[in-house]
Amino acid sequence: MVERFIRWAETCSDIRAAVIVGSRARANHSADEWADLDIIVITTDPERYVSTSDWIENVGSPLLTFVEPTAGGDDMERRVLFEGMLDVDFAIIPKRKSQQLLQHGIPQEIAAQILNVFGRGMRVILDKDGMAAKLRTIISSIETPVHRPPTQHEFLEVVNDFLYHAVFTAKHLRRGELWWTVTCLNCYMQRLLLRMMEWHTRATHGWNYDTWFRGRFLEEWAHPQAVKELPDAFAHYDEEDIKHALLATMNLFGWIAMETAEKLGYPYPTKADEHVTNWIRTCLSQRRSA
């Protein structure tokens, strides 16, 4: 498929460069049989590849396709599922944007995002103007950001946010809003749990310890006990299961957050935690009225 893409892209005057990123370009955690293919396409006509899909047939036989924002949110990518269930993400980048990076350098505020995409590996497969090679040189010169511990305020914000939404979830569960509660628990509260798990790991192993991003390979870098407890922290669409998962999530978050606070030398809001936990246990033990 890569070879077909290259042969076709070479005939398109508007496609100036293409780069493979992700698992099919990196050495650490390289691609396995389940990996997708991520191709960044630098073009003078991005609208063509975002608004139309007929061009995909030059690459393979598509089953379906749709468009969504890239992880950074500034550009669009066309996601395609081909026959054989091979999924390919074509991130469409305007040439002018790449030229701006070459001319002015990579802004500090997006350096970490650029490193997440390109820093773990990039394979240039098309480079008509030498632009991709120059971008690779610039990206390789970005200093790996030094992760810093959260401030006491930042730490407390996450703890308070978690406890607030634990009460929020319990209240809506008592009201019988299962969709609302299960999505809050399984999505929003778990993102706060993930952030605390990242802090806990870095507070234990050093602040530049690699916790990847958005939970990738969590089973390898998170505390083994936390990984063991995670199955109980996600709820089915069932009132009793949501009760069980909420309490399990709170227990998991609690000991991780308290250990992190101890490692950071921060006070933990024990009184608020205990008050919230006791209220939720009482609330969930009561029978919901019809």
What order do you get walking across the sheet with 122-127 strand by strand? 62-69, 76-82, 86-94, 37-43, 15-21, 122-127
Maximum distance among all alpha carbons in the chain?
Answer: 70
289 pLDDT above the threshold of 60: no
110 pLDDT above the threshold of 80: no
Please provide the average confidence, as pLDDT, over all residues in the chain: 92
Q: Which CATH class is domain 152-285?
A: mainly alpha
Interval 86-105 mean pLDDT: 90
Structure tokens at 188: 């929003």
The single-letter code of the amino acid at 123 is: R
Interval 186-210 mean pLDDT: 96
How many other CB atoms are found less than 10 A from the CB of residue 50?
16
Give the model confidence (pLDDT) of 76-91 as tens digits.
Answer: 999 999 999 999 999 9
2-140 with 152-285: one CATH topology? no
Give the model confidence (pLDDT) of 175-195 as tens digits.
Answer: 999 999 999 999 999 999 999
Q: Can you give the pLDDT at residue 206?
A: 95
Q: Can you give the pLDDT at residue 290?
A: 44
Comparison of pLDDT for 111 and 126, the residue scoring more:
126
13 pLDDT above the threshold of 50: yes
The Cα angle at residue 68 between residues 46 and 21, in degrees rounded to 5 = 70
Kindly list the domain boundaries of the chain, sorted by start residue. Answer: 2-140, 152-285
Q: Can you give the pLDDT at residue 109?
A: 65
CATH topology of domain 2-140: Beta Polymerase; domain 2 (3.30.460)
Comparison of pLDDT for 281 and 111, the residue scoring more:
281
Give the model confidence (pLDDT) of 225-260 as tens digits.
Answer: 999 999 999 999 999 999 999 999 999 999 999 999
Question: Picking from 48-62, 209-223, 247-261, 268-282, which range would have the lowest pLDDT averaged per residue?
Answer: 209-223
Interval 138-157 mean pLDDT: 87
Query: What are residue 190's phi and psi, to 5 degrees?
Result: -70, -30
32 pLDDT above the threshold of 60: yes
C-alpha closest to that of 122 among 108, 142, 105, 107: 142
Q: Can you give the pLDDT at residue 73?
A: 66
For residue 127, the cross-strand partners are 17
